[in-house]
Structure 1
Amino acid sequence: MNARVSNTITSEKICHTTCPYCGVGCGVEVTVNETTDGKKALSKLEGNRQHPANFGQLCVKGSNLLETNDLSNRLLHPSIDGKRASWPDAYQHIADKLSTIIKEHGPDAVAFYVSGQLLTEDYYVVNKLAKGYLGTANVDTNSRLCMSSAVSAYKRAFGEDIVPCDYQDLENTDLLVLIGSNAAWTHPILFQRMEKAKKLNPSMKIVHVDPRANATTSLADLHLAIKPGSDAYLFNGLLAYIADNNALDNSFIETHTDGFNDALACATLSVEEVAQLCDVPIDNIRTFYSLFVSSPRAISFYSMGINQSNSGVDKANSIINCHLASGKIGKEGSGPFSITGQPNAMGGREVGGLANMLAAHMDIENPKHREKVKNYWQSPTIATNGGLKAVDLFDAIENGKVKAVWIMATNPLVSMPNRNKIERALAKAELVVVSDVVEKNDTLAFADVKLPATAWSEKDGTVTNSERRVSRQQGLLIPPGEAKHDWQIISEFAQTMGFNEGFNFSHPSEVYAEHAGLSGHDNHDERYFNISAHQHISKHQYNTLRPFRWPLTGDDTKDNARVFSDGKFYTDNGRAKFMPILPRLPEQATSDAFPFVLNTGRLRDQWHTMTRTGKAGKLTQHIAESCLYINANDADALGVIEGEAVYLSSQVSEAPQICLPVKIDNKLREKTCFAPIHWNQTFASSASIARLFTDARDPLSGQPELKHAAIQITKVPALTHIQVIQSKLDALDLTHHFDHWQKIVRDDVDCIRALMTQEKVTANSLINKIVCDYSALDCQVFSRITDDLSVVVLTKDDIVKTVIVLSNTVIEIEQDWLAQQVYKQLDDVDLGTLLRGIPDESFTLGRQVCSCFNVREKTIVEAISNGCSSVSALGDALQCGTNCGSCKSELAELVQTHTTDIPIKLVPTLTATVADREDVV
């Protein structure tokens, strides 16, 4: 909910900051009001039209930031063992514990697990403390789960973690290949730029490589629904095709690269073999390959579908190989473009946020780099070996090698694979410290010390987006309670440990200036990352810093966009490296016991573990609950219909730990299913799918294989289906009555969907238990109980407080209609209709598609049948798609489906051949 202004406004100021969600790094403009009592409140939010990442556009999540900014579930005070403590006492408690552990077991018995949600200044101070003062490299981050394979691939090919593309390249290319990315939902502002580019340049072609047809596929000319995990075969085949069809850039290869012959020797696949290995029609493979070689410019835009793999580094290098071989790199509209998942994953990489890195893009295994960093910091020590990567870190906690862990701004119980192991590890640790903004989440349940950190509207520092653009995230509000900035917490703790000289920062500008200075320290153009132009930045200059792209050195003021245009790379000899790739299939292979492949990902309106987005009722209506998306043929074989629940199990998680309702999706391959990542024990009893994934990971990057789990699916013997809609003001926790449940938070009511499975529960017996809970509220009960459908209405002072629906089959009464009955005066309710569960016709309009204007599917379909044959026409008629634009891909899909009565186009009609090009080398 918005922070409300309760006193007279004395001043109004517009502040520029950044969105805290994905790696696009959108600029945000916020109106801050100050009142007569000196308090500040945020009254308006919109996109910053001057910011080069988004030019004023915001997706539905960014547009609703103010709706998630209230203090509900905020952690406001430090605590030790569940008891409130002062900051000095908390620091001293941690210092005493860590000092004892380090004395008895060495510094590597201590670890930090941090987050791409941190600002660069926060990240920098943590790494300085751990690696330069405590002497441990055990600092890893949830970016390990997101970008580490892309980082390793860039370093192998280019010598440094350098993303060689920018957002304008997406608009100035001839061929855009989207690989393992549902950009329409995960990076919607970039997707809208792609849509606009295609409208302005109809000859531009888009290929979508993904096992699952999704919202992004609606923009594609060609969809390659490859077999899960077969990406490296596809791109090894492309490399061979480039060589076989006279499309090599021989001059570039000979002058600027090494290792081509070895890479080509591993890429001997024919088009026919690729089609078989990827399980894609051969004509589709030929079309893609022909498009790539015939297009003067090509962008390969890849994301978690590539990175989250046991061979993610090799997959990324197989893509990079194709760009090096064809010379499609270092020029406008061309290059391998890895897109970041989190808002500051790249900023974290700049300051050494991964366990195998030092700050300023230096390597921990390089003695000269270690000496440079130690000298610059004037630190008492420096870590000499790479630390433990995320999966290995929690292994080490479980086996007792690591005794203490400090977790910052992340929820590893929900995001890490093999949740059961993470639970065992944290339960065994001698000390678990958690710095977070929330009072309760899955990980905080294991914390010995809880420290309140600042949230988006209070945090003050910088972030770096996916195109290497640094932007300011401004502190808009005074931190509530006793919350402190993460850089401030670590700095004050370091001084408690006796490290006074290195951590006497009083403002984030001082941290940033030191970070900038290190980037240029003894850097004789050996590292591309360099922002030393800011090493003497003043507080005023920092507060007014405009977005810029690195590198930025000396007196440079230009926006440094183009990388590798001179053919210079940052390897030992300045030449890019081809990598020989031997494709590997996923480690979590299917079997007779576990015959289904589980794919995972984000939804359009939710973010990570829903700490913010779960608060906004508008963001929970597009997709209200976690589901298992499955092909209709598979559902038939399992004997389940849409809405019925299934148990999911794997070799590391037996049923019934995961229980999800089924959603039919015929765009999925058979034996392949999909579930979202967001749900956790705050919002559901049995939907944390991290339990299903093993520790399978890439041997180089350590990134877990989170796109491919082998699972078993069995039908749940659901005996009673329950819906509860209750007033948020009087909401009681009823979840202990149910075997499985999911909670949907709306603006004024809480909704629960639940199942009873273990025993036959009569409607009367369950209703009696629930009514008993409400007895203290002195509620009046109205009910209609039948064998098929029972409805109970609880009122207090003649106002409806709760509606409960029970059925022994899948009968879902429209939630919007039920929610509207709550808070009504009893005289204004048609009690007979309500008890029969018969909603008004206006409420049976299907799922919400447009969150901004609450436009539902049936309304859209009716408009299409009445002649709205385009997204723009639907916008004119219904407003849908005219605000944030996040729903435009779904609108396009509905238009295509309901104007042709056929599914989305998956087989291309376009053709392209090498002969189309006159400039083939």
Structure 2
Amino acid sequence: MNQPASPASPLETKSTCCYCGVGCGVIIEHDGQQITGVRGDPDHPANFGRLCTKGSTLHLTATPDSQVVRALYPELRPSREAPRARTDWDTALRHAADKFATVIREHGPNAVAFYVSGQLLTEDYYVFNKLAKGLIGTNNIDTNSRLCMSSAATGYKQTLGADSPPGCYDDLKHTDCLFLAGSNTAFAHPILFRRIEDARALNPAMKMIVVDPRRTDTAEQADLHLALLPGTDIALYNAMLHVMLWEEWIKPEYIGAHTEGFDVLRRTVREYTPAMAAEICGLTKKEIETAAEWFAHGGDASKATMSMYCMGLNQSTHGTHNNAALINLHLATAQIGKPGAGPFSLTGQPNAMGGREVGGMATLLSGHRDMDNAEHRAEVAKLWGIPSVPEQAGLTAIELFDAMAAGTVKAVWISCTNPAQSMPDQNLVRKALETCEFVVVQEAYRNTETARYADLLLPATSWGEKTGTVTNSERRISRVIQAVPAPGEARHDWDTAVDFARRLGNELGDTHTSALFPYTNEEDIWNEHRESTRGRDLDITGLSYATLEQQGPQQWPFPQGASGGKARLYEDGIYPTASGRAKFVATEHKDTVEKADARYPIRMTTGRLRDQWHGMSRTGTVARLYAHEAEPMIHMHAADIDRRGLKDGELVRVKSRRGEIVVKALASETVRPGQAFLPMHWGSNALGGLGTNALTLKSFDPYSKQPELKHSAVQISKYVPGDSRPLVAMRRVEAGTNALEVLEELRKQTADMPQAALTMIGRETPVVVLKAQTEALSADQQHALDVALSLADDTQCLSYQDKRRDIAKRARIDNNKLAAVRLTGEIKGAGWLQDMMVNGGTATQARQWLLAPLAEAPTGVTARGKIICSCFDVSENEISAALKAGESMEQVQARLKCGTNCGSCVPELKRLQSR
């Protein structure tokens, strides 16, 4: 709740971070109208006051300048050929209700669909789910959680009986072996990784095993890094179980009393010898045997093993079985239901768990109920006061966009997600959005890739403006409390959905719509959701908004009459299955859908960076968050770069069977020869073309329907520019000018440049940077670009041109500082010029370089290099130079302060120290 403060102090409101599923508590500082700061909540049990680089800069995403990219009022497109124009809410929702009602009357309820988000609050999710399944009568509601968490949920259900992570963060303090699989926790869940570091400091004997094809920052800290080949997890886990059986490290008493199906699994893993699996996985026999021994502790039941896993297991065509194969190890060794033990799925989004709780997916019903269960359907229908809910499972994410492209889904409502950046096979996704007759986008940011396709754009509230609840990875529910008013005409997602539902019900002649959607506030919705959980595995009937506000975040289950939530599940060995026993699932190794071959010889994986989030609609507004990795680069082994006649930092063409992009190559020790890594965050807003997901494929797991976003086969070749020339343009954005306005204008001017990358760097005074390969610009194009760069006035600019070498340089110097520059044809000095602009250095050397035909930077001038510590703007080169000069890491940290604030850069500091 809002806390009073002295007149000189800001107001404070407790809330949660809106990024990953760790669910960190934050304290929002504000003046009642504007957010002014943020810090970690020391009382929140997820983070105890810590925040990562993204969380600690949340207030910078809510500045007045950020309203440049916010959706502030409804916009309606009168026809597909016309641009959207501002309209009022009444007109917007009447139009939407009319369009949806017309499609439903003419083509049936399954001709409409909703695609929502793991970033919605639980109350938002609940209303959308009820709108689709209760009012319209379609199960066509799915979520971007399908892309990240559905295999984990399905794996839990197949083995343990319910989508209920059995452990908690506190287990890290009690475990003796931490098994991290398919998760670069140091980057994807940084505050949880801080807790891992704390646990290892308290227990130096604790073993950490990391299973990942790449040598990530997480893997660098492992006692054992299993750098398996992509997609071979099942062979590894089956071989580990084979070793445990051979060495008699399993627990027959637990297996006999609390599980079923082990005999079938035993026969399956008999074939998976360590030698066989080593060949499949690209590991050594010894590595597999060591992993099995550490996991089972040589049969010592007094020790505990905890596994944590994420997208590396989930984003696969056999993701459900990846999860099940790992859970099999826990069940076979009785490593579950006790402190420090159990399989723990790391949630990718802040409320993916809450969405699963309310059944907000095409294959689920409220309260962890199953759609194919008639009794469950009847329970939901009774709760909602309707005759029935539809039996047939709805279209999941990939199926939904296929149906849109085919024209069978004719109206879609997209809320709080950006499928035109995040979905695989972007060419097909864009076709689907263009084909669908009516596209509603309910969004806080009007500049997302998906917003371009909206026939109706509806402004939504965002972080700091919303109120409701979220559930994090450890089943912990937190209150989200509004700190400041919504900007412009933005409305809460649930409020818009309720208003639309009532209007749609009237259009369809449903006289019970008001009774179906009686809500006047968020708490009304939450109370109904709470009742839907009564008697279920996630029973929260003992909770209320008041409890959460007075006693803080609570874990479920928390049934009526309980004094607290349950930290660990299955301590009694009883599982929510028909028999009360957990189920072993016999899994077999299957390869990735695409295999490396002569045409596509590189196995490319995708993943997250430390300082960016999803499609960057929020993090992309903060200049300092680009400093760690300023543009998308494909990480390649040096041997693969040499083999192709490439150079580190050179532009390359990356091509899959679905599309291609142009990015820089980065020589990296983190990947094997024949493999590459490309960050997932860049779409067409910040990168020419369609971004990373132009390359990925839509093939999905048959059980979870989650696509294999993690792996694609690609070819990588030297980018041959043809008639184009390299272009680098930069503008230092001084106080009084909105950097996002400059960025948006440059985005507009470079929309047709397929090899363009846009970024911002710096801190108090950001620098907007454009890097591109482009054909000769027309006079009008050049003028528009120079206007955006503040380089249009000849009387204020310095120019150099060498027509013979096709080189042009143009710059503006204000108060002896380089304020803007455009380099065409020759860009070798761009790195140090960029540093000069960021750091506000004098422009004497720049002036000498700009007015002469020099190809290199002046003697003795070097670029700072990659920024390791975003909090204090410390570069890799500075840290390495200090270590080389004989300073200890402790001395470096004391002098430069790197790693002393949020701690997100600590794993990289350790890596630099170990070189």
SS class of match (2:469): strand
Does 767-776 or 190-199 show the bigger shift?
Answer: 767-776
After TM superposition, the structure 1 = structure 2 runs for residues 235-254 of structure 1, keeping only pairs within 5 Å, are 235-254=237-256
Question: Which 10-residue stretch deviates more, 473-482 or 744-753?
Answer: 744-753
Partner in structure 2 of residue 533 of structure 1: 542
| CA pair 290-78 structure 1, distance change in 2 beyond 3 A | same
**Cα pair 1:643 1:810 within 8 Å, conserved:** no
C-alpha spacing 1:849/1:687, structure 2 compared with 1 (3 Å): farther
Residues 107-137 of structure 1 show CA distances to partners (whole Å, capped at 9, x for unaligned) of 1111100001100000001001111111111
TM-score, with structure 2 as normaliser: 0.91
CA distance in 2, matches of 1:452, 1:865: 52
Pick aligned residue for 2:167 from 162, 165, 168: 165
User: Which among 792, 815, 831 is matched to residue 847 of structure 2?
Assistant: 831
Deviations 1:527-557 (A, max 9, x none): 31110113xx46x556546200000111212
Match of 2:757 in 1: 742
Secondary structure at 1:504 match in 2:
coil
SS at match of 2:54: helix
- Is 1:725 the counterpart of 2:730 in the alignment? yes
Flag the 1:125–1:714 CA change in 2: closer, same or farther, 3 A: same
Bigger Cα displacement from structure 2, 414-423 vs 860-869:
860-869
Q: Which secondary structure state, in structure 2, belongs to the residue aligned with residue 566 of structure 1?
A: coil
**Equivalents in 2 of 1:223, 1:591: separation in Å?**
27
Distance 1:528 1:179 in 2: 26
What is the 5 A alignment of 1:852-891? 852-870=871-889, 872-891=890-909
**Offset at residue 588 of structure 1 (A):** 1.7
Partners in 1 of 2:481 and 2:236 — Cα distance?
A: 44
CA distance in 2, matches of 1:782, 1:437: 41
Q: Do the aligned partners of residues 862 and 376 (structure 1) sit closer, same or farther apart at CA in structure 2, a change above 3 Å counting?
A: same
**In the alignment, residue 28 of structure 2 is paired with which amino acid?**
V
Q: Which residue does 2:518 correspond to in 1?
A: 504
**Structure 1 unaligned blocks of 5 or more:** 1-7, 35-39, 898-921
Give, in whole Å, the separation in 1 of the partners of 2:341 and 2:664.
43
Deviation per CA, 1:881-902, whole angstroms, max 9, x where unpaired?
00000000000000001xxxxx
Aligned to 2:191: 189
Q: Distance in 2 between matches of 1:821 and 1:793?
A: 17
Q: Which letter maps to 1:725?
A: M
Alpha carbons of structure 1 residues 495 and 738: separation in structure 2 relative to 1, 3 Å = closer
Residue of structure 2 equivalent to 1:691: 694
Query: 2:72 is matched with which residue?
Result: 76
Q: 1:702 is matched with which residue?
A: 705
Aligned-CA RMSD value:
2.5
Which residue in 1 is equivalent to 2:224? 222
Q: Distance in 1 between matches of 2:787 and 2:265?
A: 70
Q: 1:93 to 1:240 in 2, by over 3 A?
A: same
**How do 1:509-658 residues align onto structure 2 when only pairs under 5 Å count?**
509-520=523-534, 523=535, 527-534=536-543, 537=544, 544=550, 546-653=552-659, 657-658=660-661
User: Following the alignment from structure 2 to structure 1, what is the Cα–Cα distance between the partners of residues 883 and 779?
Assistant: 45
Cα deviation digits, residues 749-795 of structure 1 (max 9, x gap): 453343336x6x59999978855886865653312345496532136
The 1-side partners of 2:218 and 2:90 are apart by: 51
Aligned to 1:452: 459
- Structure 2 distance, partners of 1:261, 1:770, is 69
2:27 paired residue number:
29
Q: Structure 2: how far apart are the matches of 1:750 and 1:579?
A: 54
Letter paired with 1:477: V
Change in CA separation of 1:833 and 1:776 when aligned onto 2, cut-off 3 Å? closer
How far did residue 737 of structure 1 move? Answer: 7.8
Cα shift at 1:159? 1.2
Q: Distance in 2 between matches of 1:861 and 1:775?
A: 37
Question: For the Cα contact (< 8 Å) 1:420–1:691, is it kept in 2?
Answer: yes
Query: Separation in 1 of the partners of 2:835 and 2:427?
Result: 39
Measured after TM superposition, the shift of residue 11 of structure 1 is: 7.1
Look up the SS of the partner of 1:421 in the other structure. helix
Q: Distance in 1 between matches of 2:402 and 2:368?
A: 27
Give the drift of 1:825: 9.9
For residues 843 and 455 of structure 1, the distance between their equivalents in structure 2, rounded to whole angstroms, comes to 41
Relative distance call for 1:90 and 1:251 in structure 2 (3 A) is same
Deviation at 1:834, TM superposition (A): 5.2
Please report how far the alpha carbon of residue 727 of structure 1 lies from its aligned counterpart in structure 2 after TM superposition: 4.2
| Alpha-carbon separation, structure 2, partners of 1:512 and 1:772 | 51
Structure 2 matches for 1:773-784, cutoff 5 A? 780-784=796-800
- The whole-number CA distance in structure 2 between the counterparts of 1:818 and 1:825 is 8
The one-character-per-residue Cα deviations of 1:280-303 (angstroms, maximum 9, x if unpaired) are: 122222221221222621111111
Contact 2:478 2:548 in 1 (8 A): no
Please tell me whether residue 67 in structure 1 is matched to residue 60 in structure 2.
Answer: yes
Q: Secondary structure of the equivalent of 2:491?
A: coil
Q: Name the CA distance, whole Å, in 1 between partners of 2:523 and 2:760.
A: 38
Report 1:121-140 matches (<5 A): 121-140=123-142
Q: Distance in 2 between matches of 1:437 and 1:194?
A: 34
The offset of 1:680, in angstroms, is 1.6
Give the conservation status (yes or no) of the 8 Å contact 1:411–1:442.
yes
Provide the rounded CA distance (Å) in 1 between the counterparts of 2:782 and 2:438: 43
Tell me if structure 2 keeps the 8 A contact 1:21–1:343.
yes
Write the distance in 2 (CA, Å) between the matches of 1:138 and 1:782: 59
Q: Does the Cα contact within 8 Å between 1:472 and 1:545 map onto a contact in 2?
A: no
The amino acid that maps onto 2:758 is K
The residue type paired with residue 751 of structure 1 is V
Match of 1:756 in 2: 773
Determine if contact 1:47/1:56 at 8 Å carries over to the other structure: yes
Query: Residue 162 of structure 1 aligns to a residue in which SS?
Result: coil
C-alpha distance in 2 between matches for 1:199 and 1:10: 40
Contact 1:154 1:163 in 2 (8 A): yes
With normalisation by structure 1, the TM-score equals: 0.90
Larger displacement relative to structure 2 (477-486 or 40-49)? 40-49
Aligned to 2:38: 45
Length, aligned pairs only: 869
Cα distance per residue 1:339-385 (max 9 Å; x no partner): 01101000100000211000110111111111111111113541212
Residues 736 and 798 of structure 1: is their aligned pair in 2 closer, same or farther, counting only changes over 3 Å? Answer: farther
Other-structure match for 2:436? 429
Which residue, 242, 265, 273 being the options, matches 1:270? 273
Contact residue 24 and residue 47 of structure 2 kept, 8 A: yes
Helix, strand or coil at the partner of 2:68 = coil
Assess, with a 3 A threshold, how the Cα gap between structure 1 residues 880 and 66 changes in structure 2: closer, same or farther: same
Amino acid at match of 1:533: G
Deviations 1:34-87 (A, max 9, x none): 4xxxxx222331111111100111001000001111322000101110121111
For residues 539 and 7 of structure 2, the distance between their equivalents in structure 1, rounded to whole angstroms, comes to 43
| One-letter identity of the residue aligned with 1:503 | F
Counterpart for residue 358 of structure 2:
351
SS of the residue corresponding to residue 560 of structure 2 reads coil
Q: Which runs of 5+ in 2 are unaligned?
A: 1-5, 78-83, 506-512
Amino acid at match of 1:669: R
Task: Tell me, in whole angstroms, the C-alpha distance in 2 between the residues paired with 1:588 and 1:55.
Answer: 43
Q: State, as a whole percentage, how many aligned pairs show the same letter.
A: 39
Which AA in structure 2 matches 1:755?
A: A
Look up the SS of the partner of 2:133 in the other structure: helix
Retained in 2: the 8 A contact 1:9–1:33? no
**Is the 1:741–1:752 Cα contact (8 Å) retained in structure 2?**
no
